[in-house]
Chains A and B, each alone.
Chain A
Amino acid sequence: MEKFTGKVWVLGDDIDTDIIIPTEYLALPTVEDMKQYGFSPLRPELAGQIHEGDIIVAGKNFGCGSSREQAPEIIKALKVKCVIAKSYARIFFRNSINNGLLLIENSEIQDAVKEGDEITVTLGECIEHNGRTYPVASLPDNLMDILRAGGLVKAMQQRNGLHS
């Protein structure tokens, strides 16, 4: 089972997609151009400080708001390993899976961690922090199939016989 350790950034409840990437930057040509503005209405410094493999820990209803798929794409472009939140908004959840961004649901870890702490995640099993273990559920098979393919584009490419 895949296992990884990362430094956490802690955000609150109802982190909406206008916070993750404001509308004014959506007409920039690529997600790479947009990513520096990630989370800027709430924490303008954050995008510049996130390092590859970091983990975002948040409260309930993460990704609420618009259907903009740039939201999970930007988190992925910032090389965040995964997001762990108490719950997710529906469209954001689908968009994340379709872009191969790993989401984990856990109701306790946000209250336990401080920003900068390290946590270890074992997929489908648990999160470890300061000697405590928090269980996590695994995703349904149809979603794991898309994640395993590397996102919906790759899954459709396989369907259309482009490459395996």
Chain B
Amino acid sequence: MGNTIIEKIIKKNTGLSEVKPGQIVTVHVDRVMIHDIFIPFVADKFEEMGFDRLWDPDKVVLIYDHLVPASAVEDIRHFKIGDAFVKKYGLTHVHRSDGICHQLMTEAGYAGPGDIVFGTDSHTTTYGCVGCFSSGIGYTEMASILGTGEMWVKVPETIKVVINGTLPANVSAKDVILRLIGDLRADGATYKALEITGSAVDAMSVASRMTISNMAVEAGAKCCLFRPDEKTCQYTGTDLSEVDWIYGDEDAQYCQLIEYQAEDLVPVCACPSQVDNIHPVSDLVGTKLDQVFIGSCTNGRLEDLAEAARILDGRQTACKLIITPASRKIYLEAIEAGYMEILARAGAIITQPGCGLCCGRAGGILTDGETVLATNNRNFLGRMGTSKVGIYLGSPATAAISAIYGEIREPL
């Protein structure tokens, strides 16, 4: 019998000749990511467990992003503890202001096709965009990996999602993943792997696939895998012949099959306050907005800023518009492409790359009774300010057109 992508990756990693869903196996971890919020706790637990050295300092990446730049005095403690941990245990892969962890992990080449990577953040599922098995864990579990290089995992069942056809011009990867989450619901893929395939996916950039794998966790997924292709190889600097084993076999066993025809999809938003509360944008037109946010590890990439600039070129915003590129590299590319000037002239507030507003700590938090349309991945109560802020999640195109009118509009 054939295997799904996740089964193949686990087989290769463990050397087992066969694995099946439900089986508990110990994997050798290829890379881990720790971010600034959790480094103090990871450091504590690591030493409390009795470890005195990392299993492999080269495999550990530390990224400051949630608290950069510090917006409260207590944030600085995280950097001090992180810096001390770096020095004491010899970490070499440290990013103190380069961007959001999930962008940097593939952008800087830390997570590649066929790898197994864990991070102290739920959106670690993002690296599945290049065919990497990546998933979020807590800091205690991270501390044990730092000491042992190993982790137990249950081999997940796989849901296969097939999207064939050509997406309408006003529908993006964000609309696709929101629709999928709405159909699966917030727990529809819990403990499971997603495998996304079809001609519409083949046509997508790696950046668009990243938007999908980033949000897969909002349906509970353990990981979300794409078959690496020429675009993946170009992005990751890999040779196709090294990764051509990463695909789901025709006769692999899937627990569920979901099919979409790309032409049938429409722009959608997740409405307050659940990511699976999905409605067509056409039903929401006219909803008044106090703020629009374009950015985050979900939609802060060059193609997202390009789309925003295309729509906002020569226009003026009617409400606050906050733009946060996902990394310094993207920030520079957007400057060079002229997008930042267009956005600034349209009235946008452009912030440094980081998590900022998306995790509700800084960069445009809101208060009771206010409404925001945002391109990030969560609209939970209290996520971007007080618990009485209404958060709609949508695509960069929906966000940009809505910023011009100060109310929700459907992109053309």
Contacts and interface: CB of A to CB of B under 8 A. Distances in A.
Interface in B31-72: 37-38, 41, 45, 48-51, 67, 72
Contacts of B72: 27
Give the one of B147, B360, B380 with max A CB within 10 A.
Answer: B380
A142 B138 contact: no
A153 B144 CA distance: 8
Interface SS, A side: loop
B128 interface: no
Contact of A87 (B37, B187, B382): B187
A61 B186 CA distance: 7
Contacts of A161: 50
A91 interface: yes
6 contacts: A16-B381, A29-B74, A64-B186, A87-B190, A89-B220, A152-B141
A23 B361 contact: yes
Contact of A91 (B50, B138, B186, B381): B138
The 3 closest A-B pairs by CB, nearest first: A160-B50, A69-B138, A61-B187
A121 to B, nearest CB: 23
Interface size class for chain A?
35 or more
A142 B152 contact: yes
Contact of B274 (A14, A24, A60, A156): A14
Contacts of A42: 381, 387
A144 interface: no
Given A61-B190, A156-B50, A157-B50, A27 B137 contact: no
Interface stretch (A46-54, A76-84, A93-101, A106-114): A93-101
A90 interface: yes
B160 interface: no
Nearest to A92: B138
Nearest to A87: B187
Nearest to A31: B41
Contacts of B37: 26-27, 68
A67 B51 contact: no
Interface of B: 24, 37-38, 41, 45, 48-51, 67, 72, 74-75, 77-78, 119-122, 124, 135-141, 143-144, 147-148, 152, 186-187, 190-191, 220, 222, 274, 359-361, 378, 380-383, 387
A91 B75 CA distance: 25
A138 B222 CA distance: 22
B382 A67 contact: no
Contact of A65 (B50, B78, B191, B380): B380
A57 to B, nearest CB: 17
A122 interface: no
Given A18-B382, A27-B67, A95 B186 contact: no
Nearest to B66: A23
